[in-house]
Amino acid sequence: MKKVERINDMILFLAGKNSFNLKELIERYSISKSTALRDIQSLEAIGLPIYSELGRHGKYQLLDTRIVAPGLFTEGEIYALYFALLTLKGYQSTPFNMESSTLELKYSQVLPEKLQKELLLMHKIITLEQVNHSNTSQYLKEIVQGILREKVFNVRYAKKQEIVSLKAQFVQLSSKFGQWYARIWNHETQQIRVIRCDKIELLEEEKSQESLPLETLLKKVETFYQNEQRISFSIKVDEKGKDIFTKENYPSMSIQASEEDYLINGYYQITEEEFMTDYLLRFGTSIRQIEPIQLKERLSKRALFLADYWHQL
Model confidence over 24-37: pLDDT tens digits?
A: 999 999 999 999 99
Does residue 65 register a pLDDT over 60? no
- ω into 292 cis (within 30 of 0): yes
Please compute the mean of the pLDDT values over residues 49-63 and round it to a whole number. Answer: 72
The band of 268, judged by pLDDT with boundaries at 50, 70 and 90, is: confident
In sequence order, the 6+-apart residues with CB closer than 8 A to the CB of 3 are 39, 42
Mean pLDDT (the chain) is 83
List Cα–Cα distances, 126 to 84, 86, 119, 201, 215, in angstroms: 12, 9, 10, 36, 39
Does residue 90 register a pLDDT over 90? no
Q: pTM for this structure? A: 0.58
pLDDT of residue 226: 61
End-to-end CA, the chain = 80
Burial status of residue 220 (CB atoms within 10 A of its CB: 0-12, 13-18, 19 or more):
middle
The proportion of the chain whose per-residue pLDDT surpasses 90, expressed as a percent, equals 37
Sheet holding 179-186, edge to edge: 191-196, 179-186, 162-176, 153-159, 200-205
Long-range contacts of 180-183 (CB under 8 A, 24+ apart): 180/93, 180/137, 180/140, 182/143, 183/221
For residue 186, give the nearest of 194, 178, 177 by alpha carbon.
Answer: 194
Check if the beta carbon of residue 236 is closer than 8 Å to that of residue 263.
yes
Run of H or E residues at 171: strand 162-176
Check if the beta carbon of residue 290 is closer than 8 Å to that of residue 235.
yes
List Cα–Cα distances, 1 to 5, 6, 28, in angstroms: 6, 6, 12
pLDDT of residue 155: 96
